[in-house]
Amino acid sequence: MIFVTGGAGFIGSNFILDWLAQAAAEPVLNIDKLTYAGNPYNLEAVAGDARYAFVQADICDETAIATLLSRYRPRAIVHLAAESHVDRSIHSPDEFIRTNVNGTFNLLNRALHYWSTLPGPEQADFRFLHVSTDEVYGSLEPQSPPFSEDAPYTPNSLYSASKAASDHLVRAYHQTYGLPTLTTNCSNNYGPYHFPEKLIPLVIANALAGNPLPIYGDGMQIRDWLYVTDHCTALRTILAHGATGETYNIGGGNEQTNLHVVHTLCDILDELAARAQGSYRDLITFVKDRPGHDRRYAIDSGKLERTLGWQPAESFQSGIRKTVQWYLANGEWVRQVRSGAYLNWLRQQYGDHPPGALI
C-alpha cells in the first residue's frame, strides 16, 4: 500500500486515478483534511475499487498519522497535501505555515519513527516522496536559463516561502537521519479537476458564464505549463526509480505568457462553444497586479529525462485543448464546485465520520 496525502485535491486526485489505472497498482490510502479545495467527488470513479480507501485526517495531527502508519504499514508516502493558492497566502499566511511547514514536519517525524521500526528489506524499500513547486526558486529574468535542481532558493510569496521551508525539512531528514526521501519541484499544472480559483479553470468558468476574464498587470508573466497527467507519470517514475535524497525538477517545456494562455482558451472556446455575439476575448479585463508576483518561471527537466527517461507526452496545444474539452463535458462538476454543492455530496457519501475514520 501507498499513502497519498492531499489526494482529494487537483494533483492528488489525478495521481490516484492515474495510479489505479495501472493494472498492477498497489492499494492507495488517500489522507485528506477536506479543506475547501479537497473534493472526494473527483474520485467517484474509484470509490468502489477495493484498492482505494479514504481517511479524513489532518497531516498536522500526530496521533492520526501515527495510527494510520501503524495500522496500514505503507511502503511509501506521496506527500501532496498543501495550501497552494498564492492570493490566499497573501491574506491568510498562517494556514500556509501550519499546513505546508508544520504538516510536513509532522509527517516527516511520524514517517521517521515508523521507518525506523521496519525490518531491513522493508526499510530499504520505503520512500517519502515530497511534491513541491518551481516557485521556491523565485523569479527568472527573460533571458535566464530555466531553473535546474541546483538553482538557489529565493521565494517571493508566502506560499513559495512555506514550500521552500518544507523542502529544506525533507532534505534535512534525509541528511540527518537517513530517511529515504525524494523531492520534486514542478511547474504550473493544468488539466481536469482543477479547482476554479486558478487561472485556466477560472477563465474557462468565467467565460462560459459571460463574466469578465481578469488578468493581473499586463498579462506578460511567463509560466511553464505541465499537463497534470504528465506530472503523475513523472511522479510514478521517480517513486519507482529515483535515487534517495535527490531532487527532480518536472516541467512541461511549455513557456507561455498568462495573456497568451487566456487568448488560447478564448480561441478554443470560440471554436467549441461559440458565444451568441463576439469573441470570448471581448471579456478580457486587466486588474491591478498582486504583490510579489514573480515575472517568469521555467523548469529544466533535463536531469529527470537523462537519468530516468521521462518526457512529457502532451504539448501545450494538445493539453490545453483536452482541458477545455473536459470542462465543457463536465459542467456539472464545475457548477457544484463553484456553488459549494459538492459539500452536500460529501455529507451524503461520508456522513459525519470523524477525522481518522476509514471510509
Q: Cell for 43?
A: 474520485
Answer yes or no: are the C-beta atoms of 252 and 314 closer than 8 Å. yes
Answer yes or no: are the C-beta atoms of 4 and 31 closer than 8 Å. yes
Task: Return the bridge partners of 287, or none.
Answer: 216
Place of cell 507561455: 256
Q: What long-range pairs does 138-142 form, CB within 8 A, spacing at least 24? A: 138/294, 139/294, 139/295, 139/296, 139/297, 140/222, 140/295, 140/296, 140/297, 140/298, 141/295, 141/296, 142/222, 142/295, 142/296
How far apart CA 353 and CA 192 sit, in angstroms, is 28
> Crossing angle for the helix pair 199-209 and 316-329, nearest 10 degrees?
50
Q: Cell for 290?
A: 498582486
Residue 292, SS3 per DSSP: coil
Q: Cell for 164?
A: 521552500
Residues 6+ apart with CB under 8 A from 285: 212, 213, 214, 215
Sign of CA dihedral 64, 185, 314, 202: positive
Q: Phi and psi (nearest 5°) for 225? A: -105, 130
Q: Which residues are marked as active site?
A: 134-135, 159
